[in-house]
Amino acid sequence: MLYRANWDESGEDVYEVSYRAHAPDGNAWPRRERANCSGLRCNIMPKFEKHIFVCGNQRPPGSARGCCDPSGQAKLQRLFKQKLAERGLKGKVRANQSGCLDQCEHGPNLVVYPEAVWYGHVTEADVDEIIESHIVGGKPVERLRLADTCLNTATCEHRKSSGQ
């Protein structure tokens, strides 16, 4: 990625960002974007208020650790995007499909940032409650929240001792 600063005709600072983006066919092509900046703040891309990462990892059927997206269709993530858009939150809250979040025994799971609230055993029926309570209301859904003792540790009571 290349960043280059310059000035436009009006004297405003203009930053150009050049990078290689991947097209849907897998090929890469060069991209350039311009952003007007004033002072020390530059808005190349607007910041999201919250970011939801939905685990989309797939494992073979019968895996000891389980699997967050056995069909590989990203249904949970797509539903979050749809419901956020319906509530007018597109551009404020982003729902992305992630790779493995390493909480497989609790899957399907997701994490909401910037609060770093982890949810486990999330179903499509839980999406509205998570959006209304946590995303809009600021109150995490406790019944789905993963215990801190189960995050990023091999000693979680839900993990099987073999196959880690």
Per the model's pLDDT, the better-predicted residue between 93 and 71 turns out to be 93
Joined together, the tokens standing for residue 23 give 């097209």
Distance CA 73, CA 89 (A): 23
**159 — phi, psi (to 5°)?**
-85, 135
pLDDT exceeds cutoff 60 at 6 = no
Q: Are residues 63 and 110 in the same domain?
A: yes
Q: Are residues 123 and 64 in the same domain?
A: yes
Distance CA 155, CA 161 (A): 9
Examine residue 99 and state whether it is found in any structural domain, yes or no: yes
Q: Are residues 73 and 119 in the same domain?
A: yes
Examine residue 35 and state whether it is found in any structural domain, yes or no: yes
Q: How many CB atoms lie within 10 A of CB 66?
A: 18
Please, which pLDDT band fits residue 60 given cuts at 50, 70 and 90?
A: confident
Q: Are residues 120 and 79 in the same domain?
A: yes
Q: Are residues 144 and 70 in the same domain?
A: yes
Q: Are residues 28 and 72 in the same domain?
A: no
The share of the chain scoring above pLDDT 70, in percent, equals 68
Mean pLDDT, the chain, as a whole number? Answer: 76
Range of the domain at 13: 2-42
Q: What is the mean pLDDT of residues 43-70?
A: 81
pLDDT score for 25: 55
Q: Are residues 64 and 31 in the same domain?
A: no
Q: Are residues 14 and 55 in the same domain?
A: no
pLDDT exceeds cutoff 60 at 44 = no
Q: Are residues 129 and 54 in the same domain?
A: yes
pLDDT exceeds cutoff 50 at 7 = no
Q: Which residues contact 148 (CB under 8 A, 6 or more apart)?
A: none
Examine residue 158 and state whether it is found in any structural domain, yes or no: no
Q: Are residues 37 and 56 in the same domain?
A: no
Number of domains in the chain: 2
Q: Are residues 81 and 19 in the same domain?
A: no
Q: How many CB atoms lie within 10 A of CB 136?
A: 14
Pick from 96, 140, 91: nearest CA to 120: 140
pTM: 0.67
pLDDT exceeds cutoff 50 at 66 = yes
pLDDT score for 24: 53
Q: What is the mean pLDDT of residues 30-56?
A: 65
Q: Are residues 22 and 76 in the same domain?
A: no
If you write DSSP's letter for every residue of 66-117 in order, what string do you get? Answer: --S-TTSS-HHHHHHHHHHHHTT-TTTEEEEEES--S-GGG-S-EEEETTTE
Q: What is the CATH number of the domain that holds 126?
A: 3.40.30.10
Cα dihedral value 82, 85, 89, 91, nearest 10: 100
pLDDT score for 43: 52
